[in-house]
Amino acid sequence: MENSKQPREFKEWRSNSFDRTEDASYTFGNHLIKYCRDEVIYNLPIETSENEKEKITIAIHEALHNVMDLFEGFWKLNSGDDYSVEYILQVLVKDKNQKEVEKIDISPAKLDLPIGFWKWAEEGEFR
């Protein structure tokens, strides 16, 4: 039976451009939660209380959500008086020989990564 909460494998990504970008975003979200949130929580000292873990998780979520806001252009980001900057988040797919197969810009892509983040973080859903 298919696990509808896990991201699709690359070979199962949908062909429609928007859907394919969404599938790439879900894959990114899964890795973000697994390696940037869960690893921190897993490595907390054993004596960390549940109350402390909850506070730490809230802080981690706020920080990661703000990173999503950066990528989506929520804030105007200046680089001096005359210039601004934007950040682009791209998924680069490689085959088992490390040959590039596909590049997909997932931000800014109007997918609303900040909203998707809460689906990833709170529901553990990546589809």
Q: Is the pTM of this model over 0.95?
A: no
CA neighbor of 21 nearest in space, from 114, 115, 122, 110:
110
Q: Establish if 1 belongs to a structural domain.
A: no
Amino acid of residue 126: F
Per-residue pLDDT, 3: 61
Contact by Cβ (8 Å): 79, 85? yes
C-alpha angle 68/38/26, rounded to 5°? Answer: 45
Q: Establish if 2 belongs to a structural domain.
A: no
Q: Establish if 45 belongs to a structural domain.
A: yes
| Domain coverage including residue 79 | 12-123
pLDDT tens digit sequence for 7-53:
999 999 999 999 999 999 999 999 999 999 999 999 999 999 999 99
Q: Establish if 4 belongs to a structural domain.
A: no
Q: Establish if 38 belongs to a structural domain.
A: yes
Question: What is the tally of structural domains in the chain?
Answer: 1
CA neighbor of 37 nearest in space, from 108, 116, 117:
117
Q: Establish if 82 belongs to a structural domain.
A: yes
Q: Establish if 53 belongs to a structural domain.
A: yes
Q: Establish if 3 belongs to a structural domain.
A: no
